[in-house]
């Protein structure tokens, strides 16, 4: 009977298009977690019971999601539900699913593990405790158990430590009663937050430097503020975070940890600490200086809101301008997709740009405006209103309403009539360029200003006889540096070093300094500071990389040039190597074209690489560390292999990236394996990507249901997938003497609707390897495969 049933379902399933079968398998694979697939029709009451089961303390740690017919094509915000994909017919999916897993026709639910292997089936909603016991008996491990086991063998792994804390905190937040507005009692506090408080205490009593905890949210209050246990542990460890920030005030992860702990401790007033932190804020209009900002934008947004709540208008002014000068608030939590080589393939990304609600008008500009008005600084408020008028028109009614709420009706009426609002004058010196846009003079000028500190952009550019200085086009192109009021400070038509030095002195005399000057001043006045020294060294490298050019990239600098350009950075970085925890959360360097000409920096490269590799063993997916490693490998110039480093790294079992290093590193790893003709490694990389890409991008209706645009997009995808993955994979199989597998890739691809644009490479290679019949078969396909 069972054989007959399976045969029946096999006939149905295998009569489905090949494309649908891949859709179904990939549909359940897209969620990397445990799943419960509900078959047939379930009442709403039963679905609620299922949700209660997967959210219960016995099951919660396994992160089960529910998959059922009502979710097909709909993303449910509730994390306990999960959709397969648009366009998938759930009835067809059920038939395929029953056959795929050999399930009894009476089964109404099926549990799958992390690898989509069958755990259990059943008829009714199970009891949570019994289900949890069954999972344990079958060796199924929850997220906490996985990461704890990993850390028992790798106790210094920072990414796994962060995952552990995230997972424990997730459980605490899940247990918090909704709408809590007062401290929990002792029993509830211990039950909800006891484990997390204990873990935080353990971690911050150990080697935590470099740990990324992005729990802080500027626009929402932390639930920890209602836990006496958490507030006590925060009071204990906040001084450590503050000391670390003083030594390295530019590290986003430190500030986020500080903000999370501070915001969760209502009786802690941050002002005393903040007043001890030097603010590095060389941000001026008309510059593109890579400004160093401390505190960062999301922290400033919270500080502004807290100042407003306290009525501390003077302190608010210190941070409102910093908060409003950011276009976006970046979410620094890494996320990514799987890797594929070549343009258009999937990569690994970090730093999603997100907007806090009402940012920056409601969270920075309006509080700034209110502070100025309440302090009686009406002219400055009018200037600020002018900025809102120019940049955020939707904020104008809010600003007028704010003025009226303070009782300044006359001012509100004037602003509505746009009276007394200053013109948008620059606040620092700026350049006026009289030149034809994009002509040689214009390009030379751009190179000229890039050598200045700060790197100033022209805010006024004109090529017409109708200009403010009555310059004539026939008299030639020129430039001028103007005061904020428009008076010429210096003008010229050349770009000599003499002109550059004169312009630089004038800029500095006007009180406009870039990051390098600001950092140097701080070190002179306050002494050694590892974080400032690292920041200064990186700024020098960035500046000199853009300034130093040579047609002969292999020629090393002479000793005098080397010392002049790189001596300061060399000394600074050599000192920083004594503080290896600083080499975390770094932003990327520019390329090393100028730096690798320095003998001094080459002397430093080996030690620097060793420190970075040590840091990567603790944070193997950190983008900044990988950029650092690639940079210093180029400086070293010794062709250091990437393969041994990648292959010795260990990854947190909870990593959403499945242990994948950043995409640009994966590509370099692939290229190195290919260059060394290590074909098994090449095949392993490409085959994994090939299986995934082919399935993921086949989630489309059949071709006869597609419109012309969808069909064109489908063809473009297949051409890219075929060229970037298919051809290289076939090539690797041929080199590895696997012609049958090479032929299978080719056949499956075209049977799925794919088209190769050029197969000449694999045809020639097949002939070279002696696979003549295979080459002939592929050549016959060429006329039908071109796009």
| pLDDT per residue as tens digits for the range 622-636 | 888 898 899 999 999
pLDDT reading at 353 higher than 60: no
User: Where does 249-365 have alpha helices with state H?
Assistant: 252-263, 271-274, 297-310, 313-324
Provide the β-strand partners of residue 491. Answer: 480
Residues 241-282: pLDDT tens digits? 999 999 888 888 899 999 999 999 999 999 999 988 866 555
Residue 392, C-beta contacts closer than 8 angstroms, at least 6 positions apart: 360, 361, 365
Range with the largest mean pLDDT of 104-108, 465-469, 501-505? 501-505
pLDDT confidence of residue 337: 55
Residues 437-451: pLDDT tens digits? 888 999 899 888 888
pLDDT reading at 81 higher than 90: no
pLDDT reading at 303 higher than 70: yes
Query: C-alpha distances in angstroms, 407 versus 48, 155, 309, 314, 361?
Result: 53, 60, 19, 20, 21
Q: Higher pLDDT residue, 161 or 106?
A: 161
| Range 397-425 average pLDDT | 89
Range with the largest mean pLDDT of 155-159, 276-280, 526-530? 155-159
For tokens 């903040």, name the residue: 274
Q: Band the pLDDT of 368: cuts 50, 70, 90.
A: very high
| Range 291-301 average pLDDT | 79
Tokens of 569: 């950075």
CA within 13 Å, CB half, 736? 20
Q: Higher pLDDT residue, 276 or 308?
A: 308
Q: Higher pLDDT residue, 605 or 219?
A: 605
Residue 457, C-beta contacts closer than 8 angstroms, at least 6 positions apart: 286, 287, 288, 431, 449
Range with the largest mean pLDDT of 11-25, 154-168, 457-471, 586-600? 154-168
pLDDT confidence of residue 104: 81
Range with the largest mean pLDDT of 268-272, 297-301, 510-514? 268-272
Region of poorest pLDDT, from 88-102, 466-480, 605-619: 88-102
pLDDT confidence of residue 393: 84
Confidence (pTM): 0.85
pLDDT reading at 227 higher than 90: yes
pLDDT reading at 20 higher than 70: no
Q: Higher pLDDT residue, 226 or 521?
A: 226
Which residue, among 308, 452, 340, has the nearest Cα to 725 in the 3D structure? 340
pLDDT reading at 209 higher than 80: yes
% of the chain beyond a pLDDT of 90: 42
| Range 321-327 average pLDDT | 69
Rounded distance between C-alpha atoms, residue 530 and residue 573, angstroms: 9
pLDDT reading at 296 higher than 50: yes
Q: Higher pLDDT residue, 106 or 640?
A: 640
pLDDT confidence of residue 575: 87
pLDDT confidence of residue 784: 56
Residues 29-77: pLDDT tens digits? 666 678 888 888 888 888 888 888 888 888 888 888 888 765 544 433 3
Q: Higher pLDDT residue, 411 or 527?
A: 411
pLDDT reading at 102 higher than 50: yes
Range with the largest mean pLDDT of 125-134, 307-316, 333-342, 539-548? 307-316
Rounded distance between C-alpha atoms, residue 55 and residue 619, angstroms: 31
Residues 158-205: pLDDT tens digits? 999 999 999 999 999 999 998 899 999 999 999 999 999 999 999 999
Summary mean pLDDT of the chain: 82
Which residue, among 33, 442, 515, has the nearest Cα to 281 in the 3D structure? 515
pLDDT confidence of residue 704: 44
Q: Higher pLDDT residue, 584 or 646?
A: 646
| Range 595-621 average pLDDT | 92
| Range 431-438 average pLDDT | 90
Provide the β-strand partners of residue 349. Answer: 335
pLDDT confidence of residue 446: 87
Range with the largest mean pLDDT of 197-206, 412-421, 489-498? 197-206
Rounded distance between C-alpha atoms, residue 58 and residue 132, angstroms: 5
pLDDT confidence of residue 235: 97
Which residue, among 150, 139, 206, 142, has the nearest Cα to 168 in the 3D structure? 142
Task: Report the b/e string of 597-628 with b at 16+ CB within 10 A.
Answer: bbebbbebbeebbebbbebbbbbbbbbbbbbb
pLDDT confidence of residue 24: 66
Residue 744, C-beta contacts closer than 8 angstroms, at least 6 positions apart: none
Region of poorest pLDDT, from 3-7, 520-524, 597-601, 763-767: 3-7
pLDDT reading at 479 higher than 50: yes
pLDDT confidence of residue 786: 52
SS in 3 state form for 422-482? CCCCCCCCEEEEECCCCCHHHHHHHHHHHCCCCCECCCEEECCCCCCCCCCHHHCCEEEEE
């Amino acid at each position: 009977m069972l054989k007959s049933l399976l045969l029946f379902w096999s006939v149905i399933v295998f009569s489905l298009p090949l494309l649908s079968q891949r859709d179904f398998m990939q549909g359940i694979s897209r969620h990397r977690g445990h799943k419960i697939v509900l078959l047939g029709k379930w009442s709403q009451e039963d679905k609620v019971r299922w949700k209660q089961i997967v959210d219960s303390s016995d099951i919660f740690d396994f992160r089960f999601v529910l998959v059922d017919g009502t979710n097909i094509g709909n993303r449910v915000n509730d994390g306990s539900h999960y959709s397969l994909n648009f366009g998938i017919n759930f009835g067809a999916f059920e038939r395929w699913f029953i056959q795929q897993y050999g399930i009894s026709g009476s089964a109404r639910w099926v549990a799958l593990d992390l690898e989509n292997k069958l755990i259990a089936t059943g008829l009714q909603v199970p009891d949570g405790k019994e289900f949890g016991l069954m999972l344990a008996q079958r060796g199924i491990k929850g997220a906490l158990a996985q990461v704890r086991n990993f850390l028992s063998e790798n106790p210094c792994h920072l990414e796994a430590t962060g995952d552990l804390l995230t997972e424990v905190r997730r459980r605490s937040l899940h247990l918090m009663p909704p709408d809590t507005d007062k401290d929990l009692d002792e029993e509830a506090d211990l039950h909800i937050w006891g484990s997390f408080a204990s873990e935080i205490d353990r971690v911050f009593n150990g080697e935590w430097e470099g740990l990324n905890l992005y729990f802080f949210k500027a626009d929402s209050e932390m639930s920890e503020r209602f836990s006496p246990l958490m507030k006590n542990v925060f009071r204990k460890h906040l001084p450590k975070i503050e000391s670390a920030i003083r030594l390295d005030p530019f590290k986003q992860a430190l500030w986020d940890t500080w903000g999370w702990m501070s915001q969760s401790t209502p009786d802690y007033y941050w002002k005393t600490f903040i007043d001890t932190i030097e603010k590095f804020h060389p941000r001026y209009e008309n510059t593109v200086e890579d400004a160093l900002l401390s505190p960062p934008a999301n922290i400033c947004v919270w500080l502004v809101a807290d100042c407003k709540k306290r009525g501390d208008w003077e302190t608010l002014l210190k941070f409102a301008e910093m908060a409003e000068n950011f276009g976006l608030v970046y979410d620094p939590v890494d996320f990514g997709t799987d890797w594929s080589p070549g343009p258009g393939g999937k990569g690994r990304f970090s730093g999603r740009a997100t907007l806090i609600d009402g940012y920056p008008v409601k969270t920075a500009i309006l509080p700034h405006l209110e502070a100025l008005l309440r302090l009686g600084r009406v002219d400055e408020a009018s200037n600020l209103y002018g900025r809102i008028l120019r940049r955020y028109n939707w904020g104008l009614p809010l600003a007028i309403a704010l003025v009226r709420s303070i009782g300044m009706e006359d001012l509100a009426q004037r602003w509505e009539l746009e009276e007394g609002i200053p013109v948008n004058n620059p606040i620092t010196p700026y350049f006026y360029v009289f030149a034809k846009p994009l002509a040689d003079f214009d390009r030379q000028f751009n190179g000229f200003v890039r050598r200045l500190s700060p790197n100033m952009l022209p805010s006024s550019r004109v090529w017409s006889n109708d200009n403010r200085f009555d310059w004539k086009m026939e008299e030639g192109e020129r430039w001028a540096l103007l005061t904020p009021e428009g008076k010429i400070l210096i003008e010229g038509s050349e770009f000599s070093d003499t002109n550059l030095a004169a312009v630089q002195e004038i800029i500095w005399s006007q009180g406009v300094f870039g990051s390098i000057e600001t950092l140097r001043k701080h070190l002179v006045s306050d002494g050694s500071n590892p974080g400032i020294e690292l920041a200064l060294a990186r700024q020098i490298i960035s500046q000199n990389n853009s300034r130093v050019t040579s047609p002969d990239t292999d020629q090393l600098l002479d000793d005098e040039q080397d010392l002049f350009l790189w001596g300061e950075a060399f000394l600074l970085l050599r000192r920083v190597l004594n503080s290896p925890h600083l080499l975390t959360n770094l932003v990327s360097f520019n390329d090393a074209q100028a730096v690798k000409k320095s003998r001094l920096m080459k002397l430093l490269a080996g030690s620097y690489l060793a420190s970075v590799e040590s840091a990567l063993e603790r944070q193997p997916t950190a983008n900044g560390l990988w950029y650092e490693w690639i940079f210093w490998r180029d400086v070293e110039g010794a062709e250091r292999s990437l393969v041994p480093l990648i292959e010795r790294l260990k990854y947190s079992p909870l990593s959403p990236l499945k242990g994948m290093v950043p995409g640009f590193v994966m590509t370099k790893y692939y290229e190195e394996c290919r260059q060394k003709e290590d074909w098994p490694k090449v095949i392993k990389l490409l085959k994994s990507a090939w299986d995934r890409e082919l399935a993921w991008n086949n989630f489309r209706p059949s071709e006869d249901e597609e419109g012309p645009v969808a069909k064109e997009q489908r063809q473009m995808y297949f051409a890219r997938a075929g060229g970037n993955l298919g051809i290289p994979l076939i090539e690797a199989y041929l080199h590895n003497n696997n012609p049958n597998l090479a032929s299978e890739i080719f056949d499956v691809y075209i049977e799925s609707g794919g088209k190769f644009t050029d197969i000449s490479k694999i045809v020639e290679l097949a002939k070279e390897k002696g696979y003549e019949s295979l080459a002939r078969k592929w050549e016959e396909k060429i006329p039908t495969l071109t796009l």
